[in-house]
Structure 1
């Protein structure tokens, strides 16, 4: 009966995922954000119920259900084009440009030197309306102006007047996908690649958990999470590639294979930079090997692009950070409540440094996932990005550690995207912090709160004790 119940819940989730992809998107003139929020909430509710029902399942049925759910939920996300992000359009374009022998960092998409490469589905021609004005048609199509002639430029890409922002491992991935499919297919090639990567991650988790004696049910925390189907498959974010290499790095380093783990980490960082926050938990045992291997790998991946483009390989990264509000501190949703303006940058930096040091000192090198969970989750709470797909990196470590309470982070970030209100964001992220702290203290057992509160006093007492000791003179 438990197996039947889990199967029914997964079928409901699959149907709702497909319905949401086909029925709602954020590109309509007046998008129905309320309906999208409701559907997303229902998907998370079904996800929670499925996890609860799975607790009663035993034996091989666990692996079958986890894998089947990963495949069918991801497959449902393939039924329509991306519904909340235009990033995969840029991925496709970068791949097309590279396969023509041009560096993606060399020119912005509006540059007339790239005219011959543009497929119609990414760059439709402007049309003349009844008033004789040139307009862009299509719900995914954005308006821009060419730099050379200031003419109307219609494109499915965002930020068409600036070069790409993505690091080299991502660019190699984009070129690889388009080398197989060519420029004509629209969104499905990257969506299919996202499905293969997400299911591959499920398999990697199941194998790694079995070898380490971790409850295989926990793999469902990744495999069935609505965020995976939405952001890894439907919106096909390249963060999924970074997840694969970061998880591989964690497994390798925890098995004593620091050089190989460092290579995997270097590729992960060269995918999206963000995976660097998974590093502190992997440095406790012979961390210098991990650092050297990752830095060398990262640098080698950049070499061909630096030779082709020079300093242009930075792309739009500096402008992106400014655009997102990290330069003036306005993006830090929770910290800005007590440290407004540029002070938020210093507070965020100090908090991240302290957490990284604690993670480095306290993480078990044989099981670094709890440390990675704390480092990645805390970073997302502190930086509070607008984009929920950044939380894809957190999910495998929620699964490995079994700390379900950290699912509040991707849930809060999903709400931030669908309901972009600062008050809603602050409330949802504050609730996430409360739930995580409360459940973590409960996990720690009776007296954990008292021990936590006594830690500062003990530290001060040690400092005073050392200061009061007589100075030894030779």
Structure 2
């Protein structure tokens, strides 16, 4: 009966995922944001119910349900184009440009030297409306102006007046997908790649858990999570590639293969930079191997692009940080409550350094999952980005550690995207932090607060004893 119940819940999740993708998106003139929030909430409810029901299942049925659910829910997310993000359009364009022998960092999409490369599904010709004004047709098409002529420029790309922001591993990935699919295939090649990577991550988790004696039912946290279907498959965010290599790095380092782990970490950082926050938990023992391997790998990925573009490989990264509010501190939803303005940058920096040092000194490198989860999850709480796909990186480590309370972070970030009011974000992030702290203390048992406060002193005493 439990197997049947889980199967029914997964079927409902699959159907609702497909319905949501086909019915709601944020690109219509008057998007039904409330309905999208309701559907997202129902998907998370079905996800939680399925996880609870899976507790009564054992044996091979667990593996079958986890894998089938991962493929089915992810497959349902492919039935329509991206519904909340335009990033995959930029991925496609970067791949098309590279396959034409041009560095993606060299020119912005509006540059007229790229006119011969533009496929119709990404770029539209302006039309004249009844008032005689030039307008951009289509619900996904955004307005810009060509750099040279100033003419109206209509495309499905965001920030089309600036060069790409993505690091070299991502760019290699984009070029590879487009080399196979060609320039005219629309969104499905990246969605299919996202599905393969997400299911592959499920398989990697199951194998890693089996070797380490971890309950395989926890793999469902990754496999069935609505965030994976939405952001890794439907919106095809390249963060999914970073997840694969970060998880591989964690498995290698935990098995004592530090050089390989460093290479995997270097590729992960070369995908989106963000995976660098997973590093502190992997550096305490022989961490120099991980550091050297990751830096060398990261540098080698950049070499061909630096030779082609020079300092231009930074792309739009500096402008992006300023645009997102990280230079004036306005983006830090929780920290800005008690440290407004630029003071938030200092407070956030101090907190992140403190957490990184704590993770470094307290993590068991043979089982770095909790340390990585704390580092990634705490960073997201402090930095509070408006993009929920950043939380993809923490989901495998929730699964490996069994710390389900940290699911509050991706849930809060999902709400922030769908309802971007600052007050809603602050309440959601604060609630997530409270739940995590309370459940973590309850999990640790009586006296946990005192042990936590005494931990730095105890560590210093151990170090002093070791020296003597």
* 2:137 match: secondary structure: coil
Q: What is the aligned-residue RMSD (CA, Å)?
A: 1.4
- Note the alpha carbon deviations across 1:103-122, whole angstroms, 9 max, x for none: 00000000000000000110
- State the partner residue of 2:316: 316
Q: TM-score, normalised by structure 2?
A: 0.97
How far apart, CA to CA, are the structure 2 residues paired with 1:415 and 1:377? 16
Paired residues in the alignment total: 462
How far apart, CA to CA, are the structure 2 residues paired with 1:5 and 1:443? 28
- State the partner residue of 2:405: 405
Distance 1:225 1:129, change over 3 A: same
Worse overlay, 388-397 or 447-456? 447-456
- State the partner residue of 1:442: 442
- State the partner residue of 2:144: 144
Gaps of 5+ in 2: none
- State the partner residue of 1:346: 346
> Counterparts in 2 of 1:75-474, with a 5 A limit?
75-453=75-453
Structure 1 stretches of 4+ with a deviation exceeding 2 A read: 449-456
How far apart, CA to CA, are the structure 2 residues paired with 1:8 and 1:75? 17
How far apart, CA to CA, are the structure 1 residues paired with 2:283 and 2:95? 34
* 1:153 match: secondary structure: strand
How far apart, CA to CA, are the structure 2 residues paired with 1:91 and 1:455? 45
The CA deviation at 1:52 is: 0.2
- State the partner residue of 2:55: 55
* 1:394 match: secondary structure: helix
How far apart, CA to CA, are the structure 2 residues paired with 1:147 and 1:284? 50
* 2:123 match: secondary structure: coil
* 1:203 match: secondary structure: helix
- Note the alpha carbon deviations across 1:269-297, whole angstroms, 9 max, x for none: 00000000000000011000000000000
Query: Does 2:11 correspond to 1:11?
Result: yes
Gaps of 5+ in 1: 467-474
> Counterparts in 2 of 1:18-33, with a 5 A limit?
18-33=18-33
How far apart, CA to CA, are the structure 2 residues paired with 1:171 and 1:48? 36
* 2:82 match: secondary structure: coil
How far apart, CA to CA, are the structure 2 residues paired with 1:133 and 1:381? 45
How far apart, CA to CA, are the structure 1 residues paired with 2:108 and 2:41? 38
- State the partner residue of 1:472: none
How far apart, CA to CA, are the structure 2 residues paired with 1:72 and 1:130? 46
How far apart, CA to CA, are the structure 1 residues paired with 2:234 and 2:209? 27
* 2:183 match: secondary structure: coil
The CA deviation at 1:320 is: 0.1
The CA deviation at 1:134 is: 1.3
